[in-house]
Structure 1
């Protein structure tokens, strides 16, 4: 009662086949496998990059200088004489 029984899996597979079609399922599984391989290789690359450089990351671009901002007051909207404010 607590876990998935084999007939549950059969129903799930049948729903997938009905939704996506028998032709698209192998292509979908293939592209999912490729995506997982790419994801795993990127994770390994990130881990090797972070373990290789123990100090702060060397940035080739200098930090941006802050820009002084100016306050510009917009003109107040004109009110027509026939409108009354509450």
Structure 2
């Protein structure tokens, strides 16, 4: 399923209308932090699983 350029522009326009141009950088920063925390949690969980397997 591909997103066309027109669909992407419509979504971006709706985001700008809803949040306003001043809030978009704040939202992007929060999303970046959330993704970083998610990846760190996934890595931590994988390490715990590996440690449990080596103990068995």
* TM-score range normalised by the length of the shorter chain: 0.7 to 0.9
In structure 2, the residue matched to 1:29 is 28
Question: Which structure is larger by alpha-carbon Rg, 1 or 2?
Answer: 1
Q: How does 1:6-85 map to 2 (within 5 A)?
A: 6-54=5-53, 55=55
Aligned residues: 55
> Mind listing any 5+ residue stretches in structure 2 that lack a counterpart?
none
Structure number with higher helix proportion: 2
Alpha-carbon RMSD: 1.9
Q: Per-residue displacement from partner, 1:13-53 (whole Å, max 9, x unpaired)?
A: 11100001111111111111101101111110111011112
Deviation at 1:7, TM superposition (A): 1.9
The 4+ residue runs of structure 1 with deviation greater than 2 A are: 2-5
> Mind listing any 5+ residue stretches in structure 1 that lack a counterpart?
57-86
